[in-house]
Amino acid sequence: MLPFSVAVLIGLFAVQRLGTAAVGRWFGPVIVLWFVTLAATGVLQILREPAILAALNPLRAWDFLTQRGRGVLAAVGAIMLALTGAEALYAVMGHFGRRPVQWAWCGLVLPALALNFLGRAPC
C-alpha cells in the first residue's frame, strides 16, 4: 500500500502546477476510489462483527466521555479533529460551489468515514 500512496502523492505534485482543474481530473477519481475502499473495508468488518453496531448507541458515547475524567478534553478534541478534518472542503467550495461540496461530503465522504470508523471499533 505504501508504494501506491507514494505514487499518488508524486502524481498529485506533478499535476499541481497545471492548476486545480487538472488536479481534479487526475486526483478526483483516486479520491473517490479511496473513500469507496474505506467504506468497503468498514462494511466487511461490520459483517464479521455485527456487535460493532452497538457503538451507534448514544449511551455508549456518554459512557466513553464520562469515563475519561480529566482527559475528556483531549478525547473531545480528538473527536472534533476527526469530524472536522474536512476544512479543506471549504477551500474547494469557491471552485465548485456549496451544493457539490455538500453532495460529496454527505453522499460519499461522511458515510465512508463512518463505516470505516465503525469497522475499526472494538466490540
pLDDT in tens, 89-117: 666 666 777 888 888 888 998 899 889 88
Q: Which of 105, 89, 95 is closest to 20 using CA atoms?
A: 95
What pLDDT is attached to residue 91?
A: 67
pLDDT in tens, 19-59: 877 777 877 888 899 999 999 999 999 999 998 888 889 99
Asked if pLDDT for residue 5 goes beyond 90, the answer is: no
Q: Any idea what DSSP says for residue 107?
A: I
Domain residue limits, the chain:
2-119
